[in-house]
Structure 1
Amino acid sequence: MAQRFDAYRRLEPDPRARTFAAGFAATLHDPLWFLARQWQLGEHQGENASTPVAVDLTVVHTPIRPEPGSPDRDPTTVPAEAIVEAEPDEWWTVGRRIRVGAAVAARAAATLADTGPEYRLAGPPPPYGDYGRRLPPPYGRLAGGFDGYALWRDRTQLGLTDADFAGLGIPAARPADHWQSDELVYEAGFPVGDPADGRQLRLHRHRGGRVDWFAADAETSPPAGGAAADTVSRAITCYPTQLQYPGAPLPRWWEIEDAAVDIGGYPPDTSHFATTLLIDLIASHSDDWFVLPVPAQAGHLLTVHQPTVTDGFGRTYPLAPPADWSLFRSTGLDDHSLVVWLRTLTPSEGPVIEHVLLGLDEYSDVLWAVEQQVAGHTLASPERTPAEEAANPTFALPDRSGEPGDRQWFTYVSGRGQTAYWHPYEIDDLPGADGVPRRRFVQRRMADLSRTQPELLPAPTAELLRVRGGATEVVHEIAPATLPSIGVVLERRYHFARDVLGRPLLWRSRRRTPSLNPPGTTMRFDVLADGRAPAPTPTPTP
């Protein structure tokens, strides 16, 4: 039987060779093989092989105008967060109340001679005074002074004039309140360009925090022709460069790559959609992507018109966005426009002023609002004085006296476990502005039923749970669709930043985040509790 022997020859590098210079030089010993390899990869075709060297385009900057409720806050100079999250009376800090009160008292001493104690500082200004705290030394000397905000608020009733408040820095207009108490979100609208065009950028259901390009939608499309009076349009030439990022493949085929680079080390991030396209970018012609700088202005709507690319051979190509896909497109705007907000990147945040937890009790169909922090202080159950306890004692205290075999007595108690700072919201159908009934959670006030006489628990003091309609206060309502089953956390705190002119900005923001620990209550109703034996009826004396 014939036998067959196959012999193979393979060229391998010598690991003991020390000619590093020759290795890095990569001398080509077979030019024919190299040309064949280039032909196999399609490099000889010469199609799409040119390099862009210049891009000519027209850039249009349309300014975002101030919100009608805050005309003194220009989005081109003031960050959007400070405008959207502003509160009407946020300018009146504790220090300004004291300073303005002292200045007005010196100017109008005769007018304020007969004012009542409600216009003076008995302790820290409200809401801190609600907790009985006094100004610590050496600030105790400020107690008894006038509250500047109270004087300014009631200046007409007190007979004060504008001259009494002149030169104190009080803003002429109060910022608009964009907080929607029933939806627990912000709603604001900013005109764009010429007000006669009717275009508006609308922030829908903003939960507080960063305002980015995707936060607003356009109410109407840009006009077909003509430009606004203050719209800036100019033709520019940009010079593109190759896309570069850490760990990017080298731009040419025959360069030695860094062996330590791991493309898989860039995991897709669900909050940044562009990262999901990175692997596809690397695998498909990663050396054919170019970027070009386009000048932009914060607080403006950037629009790019008629981009034309010039390659290394002098040929020109008009650029057009894809017809069915876009990455940075806002609803209501065309696909070559981008909203550029002026934002606060790293504002200074103060401690939490108010912390409220909202949670649904699906068994009783009740929404609970739990005040955990108010005015920067953690709330604890109020302590009752002996006089208050004697006036309204706890109902049905258990009696542990008696013999083991004695009869046990029970007493009916309407409810137990009611806790202060827990506020119920009951579902109800209320007529809307158009007359159509709407389901809303309506704020109620809980009573302590475990005492001899039912006693109302404290009403909400957090501004997050209060709605002020002008000079009066109305009942807080919440739309049921606003709240998920796991609940919501509401926080209120101070933020500090500066505008583009270096002026300080201080505002109070409200943030809404999902709750990880919904509130749970141990309240019980219709309880048969341990009681005391009834007192014996005295026998009448004959």
Structure 2
Amino acid sequence: MLVPVESKLIEINKAQAFPITLAWSRLEGRPRSNKFDRALKAEVRDALWMLTKQWQMGEFAGDDAGSPVTCKISTSTATVNKYQAGSQPVQPFDKEVPFEALVEQRPLPFSTLEQDISLDLRLVMGRRWIQLLKNKGVLAATRQFFLDHYGIQQPIPDESGATICAHAEVWQQFAAVAGRMVDGARLYADFTAATHYYNLPDFPLPADTGTFDEIEATFTAWYKDLFYQPADAANNAWQPQQLEYQFAIAAGTPAGEKVMHAEEYYHGHLDWYNVDINRNVPALDQLPGNPAPPPPVVNTQSMIPAPVVFDGMPNTRWWAFEDGKTNFSYITPDTTDLAKLLLVEFGLVYANDWYLIPYRLPVGSLTTIKGLTVTNSFGETFWIEAAGRGDDNDWQRWNMFSLKVDSDTPVAADTDLLLLPSVAKIQEGKPTEEIVLIRDEMANMVWAVETVVPLPSGYSKRGAETAGEFHGFLQKLVTDAVGPVVTPAPVTDGDEAARIRYQVMNTIPENWIPFVPAHTAGSHQEVQLQRAAMPRILEGDTAKPDKIRPRTALLQPGLKDKLPYFIQEAEVPRAGVRVTQSFQRTRWTDGRVFVWYGVRKTTGRGEGSSGLGFDRIVDRPVEK
């Protein structure tokens, strides 16, 4: 008798003799013909439902909107021709230089209050000078002369050389090149001195200085090409009292000169949003020689608008799909992310309603759009006005790339377009100086903590470590001079078992520089922060304590001339301020490389406490 296969499998599974896995093949439909015409028609079976949904969404309310076909634009372009750094003299605006380098440039730090620094740069400049002398064949006759007059000196391990000898690695570097290498920075400073080096009586060559003038010209051109810095050390836009850059530019428009200024720039990238129009200043001072400003260029041009296209935008074609790399559904903006919400709305709702008109403008210019007309596909011509027109104080107006107007009286909004010669990317080196301004509510003052301090070798070190080494070296000098400090015998007055003692004042690290509140001149209510100093207490030193001076150039304004230094109180919020100084590098449009020394300011990390205290009762260890 024949047994069905299905029954046999059921019996085997019940007996559990061995497991059996059942599998089925996938069923696929077989087309009856090779024609796909009907399938590609995408027929709609319920057209009435589709019409009702369109009526429900308001798609039947047509507005007879045509697509732009042609447009005509008329502009007036004025050249920015004046630049003023802070309150310094006005100079011509150089658009062949990155604007960040022009504004942020500061003189290289070759010296501080007590000591010459940047040994690495001095050695590089000195080596270049020796190479130029060798190329001209005058090295053998003048090498010893330059070593005697401009050579690196051996540091003396006393108070005068404490900034070098207090740090072992710095002392080693100076000792390794002392008497062997030329100080290029000191030699470069002698080029403009009254007594030139080849006018000295012991100069070994005759009075024919043509060769050395040529060497100096080559050396100067090489140095200026290597580092971009102001010709005058004081002619820079950094304002120490505000801890930010301030500058002004001007352009000659048909209505007169237009002045634009930046009062709070410290971000590291310059663009139109850093500059405001200053209506309170009618014009900047005249340029040297009083040259006439270049006249504005009027241009009229006809163009064809092109629709805006971006990845991920809704595609209107039936068999085309959007780019999956841009997925707007993955965006999860917060309720306060207005810019992100506007971007999503633009991409999903109004993506096909925007058109682009390419228009080329020169850098370093201020452009006024005199008129714009658009002709659509119905042959209608429309006059387009700026969306941001109206009163400048009207917060409901919508605008982009427009400048804010600073004026004492209500004025109309300015819709001019400013195009600055800025760069897209800047390489920033490690900070050579760093200070952190923090508020100390317990001491009722502000502390400027030098967290990174430049060393004379050209490298930098942590401020706390540098302060400890410097104080320890000075303490060693005092100890070697007067001998070890002898602890006086305890007084047996019956209170020798007391576990507390009175302390007049405790000490803090030397890299903490105090700023105390001081009244602003002419005001009894406004307060500013004035740089102060802590005394340097050395055990066994009978002389009057010296004042601790800052070692960073950011905190040394006015010290050389014995002038006070003030910081506006509003510049140090409760969160604190972090200010750094470092080298910046970028490549310009013509391939040139610009390297300059600039400052950055960022927000701090909150309040702090130095632990400074007066009239304290402290514990005293009791000997058993």
Query: After TM superposition, is the score higher than 0.5?
Result: yes
Task: Name the residue aligned to 1:444.
Answer: 532
The alpha-carbon distance between structure 1 residues 390 and 334, as it changes in their structure 2 partners (threshold 3 A), is same
**Mapped partners of 1:519, 1:221: distance in 2:** 41
Deviation, 1:510, is 0.7
1:203 corresponds to 2:262: yes
Describe how 1:361-400 pairs up with structure 2 within 5 A.
361-375=440-454, 376-379=460-463, 380=465, 381-382=468-469, 383-384=472-473, 386-389=476-479
* 1:378 aligned partner, one-letter code: R
Whether the aligned pair in 2 keeps the contact of 1:307 and 1:319 (CA below 8 Å) is yes
1:131 corresponds to 2:210: no
**Mapped partners of 1:222, 1:45: distance in 2:** 52
Task: Name the residue aligned to 1:538.
Answer: none
**Mapped partners of 1:48, 1:449: distance in 2:** 86
1:356 corresponds to 2:456: no
- SS of residue in 2 equivalent to 1:275: helix
The alpha-carbon distance between structure 1 residues 98 and 371, as it changes in their structure 2 partners (threshold 3 A), is same
Task: Name the residue aligned to 2:13.
Answer: none
Whether the aligned pair in 1 keeps the contact of 2:152 and 2:178 (CA below 8 Å) is no
1:152 corresponds to 2:189: yes
Describe how 1:190-269 pairs up with structure 2 within 5 A.
190-193=249-252, 197-220=256-279, 229-251=294-316, 258=322, 262-268=327-333
Whether the aligned pair in 1 keeps the contact of 2:79 and 2:294 (CA below 8 Å) is no
**Mapped partners of 2:520, 2:344: distance in 1:** 53
Whether the aligned pair in 2 keeps the contact of 1:466 and 1:473 (CA below 8 Å) is no
* 1:80 aligned partner, one-letter code: F
Q: How many residue pairs get matched?
A: 504
The alpha-carbon distance between structure 1 residues 275 and 53, as it changes in their structure 2 partners (threshold 3 A), is farther
Alignment deviations for residues 264-295 of structure 1 (CA, whole Å, 9 cap, x no partner):
32355999964331233245443222222121
* 1:329 aligned partner, one-letter code: S
Alignment deviations for residues 141-198 of structure 1 (CA, whole Å, 9 cap, x no partner):
7755244346626944535699854442266933721111111111011122369943
1:515 corresponds to 2:604: yes
Whether the aligned pair in 2 keeps the contact of 1:359 and 1:368 (CA below 8 Å) is yes
Whether the aligned pair in 2 keeps the contact of 1:357 and 1:518 (CA below 8 Å) is no
**Mapped partners of 2:348, 2:333: distance in 1:** 15
The alpha-carbon distance between structure 1 residues 50 and 219, as it changes in their structure 2 partners (threshold 3 A), is same
Whether the aligned pair in 2 keeps the contact of 1:396 and 1:413 (CA below 8 Å) is no
Task: Name the residue aligned to 1:536.
Answer: none
**Mapped partners of 1:321, 1:399: distance in 2:** 87
**Mapped partners of 1:334, 1:216: distance in 2:** 15
The alpha-carbon distance between structure 1 residues 151 and 477, as it changes in their structure 2 partners (threshold 3 A), is same
| 71, 77, 81: which one aligns with 1:55 | 71
The alpha-carbon distance between structure 1 residues 144 and 247, as it changes in their structure 2 partners (threshold 3 A), is closer
Task: Name the residue aligned to 1:540.
Answer: none
Deviation, 1:409, is 6.6
User: Gaps (5+ residues) in structure 2?
Assistant: 1-26, 111-117, 156-160, 200-208, 225-229, 283-291, 390-396, 406-411, 455-459
- SS of residue in 1 equivalent to 2:433: strand
Deviation, 1:34, is 9.6
- SS of residue in 2 equivalent to 1:352: coil
| 40, 49, 71: which one aligns with 1:25 | 40
The alpha-carbon distance between structure 1 residues 287 and 141, as it changes in their structure 2 partners (threshold 3 A), is same
The alpha-carbon distance between structure 1 residues 221 and 516, as it changes in their structure 2 partners (threshold 3 A), is closer
1:186 corresponds to 2:186: no
* 1:336 aligned partner, one-letter code: T
The alpha-carbon distance between structure 1 residues 334 and 517, as it changes in their structure 2 partners (threshold 3 A), is closer
Whether the aligned pair in 2 keeps the contact of 1:423 and 1:444 (CA below 8 Å) is yes
**Mapped partners of 1:342, 1:135: distance in 2:** 45
Deviation, 1:247, is 1.6
The alpha-carbon distance between structure 1 residues 59 and 269, as it changes in their structure 2 partners (threshold 3 A), is farther
Whether the aligned pair in 2 keeps the contact of 1:123 and 1:135 (CA below 8 Å) is no
**Mapped partners of 1:89, 1:447: distance in 2:** 30
* 1:84 aligned partner, one-letter code: V
Whether the aligned pair in 1 keeps the contact of 2:503 and 2:615 (CA below 8 Å) is yes
Whether the aligned pair in 2 keeps the contact of 1:182 and 1:478 (CA below 8 Å) is yes
**Mapped partners of 2:428, 2:336: distance in 1:** 23
Task: Name the residue aligned to 2:552.
Answer: 462
| 512, 536, 550: which one aligns with 1:422 | 512
1:94 corresponds to 2:183: no
| 98, 108, 125: which one aligns with 1:79 | 98
Task: Name the residue aligned to 1:174.
Answer: 232
Deviation, 1:236, is 1.8
**Mapped partners of 1:396, 1:28: distance in 2:** 106
* 2:164 aligned partner, one-letter code: Y
| 370, 384, 390: which one aligns with 1:305 | 370
Describe how 1:525-536 pairs up with structure 2 within 5 A.
525-529=614-618
**Mapped partners of 1:450, 1:413: distance in 2:** 16
Task: Name the residue aligned to 1:121.
Answer: 152
**Mapped partners of 2:266, 2:447: distance in 1:** 20
The alpha-carbon distance between structure 1 residues 256 and 233, as it changes in their structure 2 partners (threshold 3 A), is same
**Mapped partners of 1:26, 1:320: distance in 2:** 45
Whether the aligned pair in 2 keeps the contact of 1:358 and 1:519 (CA below 8 Å) is no
- CA RMSD between the two structures: 4.8
Task: Name the residue aligned to 2:398.
Answer: 325
**Mapped partners of 2:576, 2:556: distance in 1:** 19
The alpha-carbon distance between structure 1 residues 140 and 315, as it changes in their structure 2 partners (threshold 3 A), is same
Q: Which moved more, 1:301-310 or 1:227-236?
A: 227-236
**Mapped partners of 1:439, 1:153: distance in 2:** 43
The alpha-carbon distance between structure 1 residues 412 and 280, as it changes in their structure 2 partners (threshold 3 A), is same
Describe how 1:7-46 pairs up with structure 2 within 5 A.
25-28=40-43, 33=48, 36=51, 40=55
Deviation, 1:114, is 11
Decide which structure has greater helix share: 2
Whether the aligned pair in 2 keeps the contact of 1:396 and 1:529 (CA below 8 Å) is no
Whether the aligned pair in 2 keeps the contact of 1:427 and 1:442 (CA below 8 Å) is yes
* 2:505 aligned partner, one-letter code: G
Alignment deviations for residues 456-485 of structure 1 (CA, whole Å, 9 cap, x no partner):
46310101111159x735332111111111
Deviation, 1:221, is 9.8
- SS of residue in 2 equivalent to 1:447: coil
**Mapped partners of 2:179, 2:146: distance in 1:** 19
The alpha-carbon distance between structure 1 residues 396 and 514, as it changes in their structure 2 partners (threshold 3 A), is farther
The alpha-carbon distance between structure 1 residues 272 and 310, as it changes in their structure 2 partners (threshold 3 A), is farther
Deviation, 1:506, is 1.2
* 1:27 aligned partner, one-letter code: A
Whether the aligned pair in 2 keeps the contact of 1:354 and 1:492 (CA below 8 Å) is yes
* 1:498 aligned partner, one-letter code: R
- Percent identity between the two aligned chains: 19
* 1:408 aligned partner, one-letter code: A
**Mapped partners of 1:158, 1:196: distance in 2:** 52
* 2:341 aligned partner, one-letter code: T
The alpha-carbon distance between structure 1 residues 55 and 96, as it changes in their structure 2 partners (threshold 3 A), is farther
The alpha-carbon distance between structure 1 residues 215 and 205, as it changes in their structure 2 partners (threshold 3 A), is same
Q: Which moved more, 1:81-90 or 1:267-276?
A: 267-276
**Mapped partners of 1:397, 1:54: distance in 2:** 95
The alpha-carbon distance between structure 1 residues 200 and 514, as it changes in their structure 2 partners (threshold 3 A), is same
- SS of residue in 1 equivalent to 2:346: helix
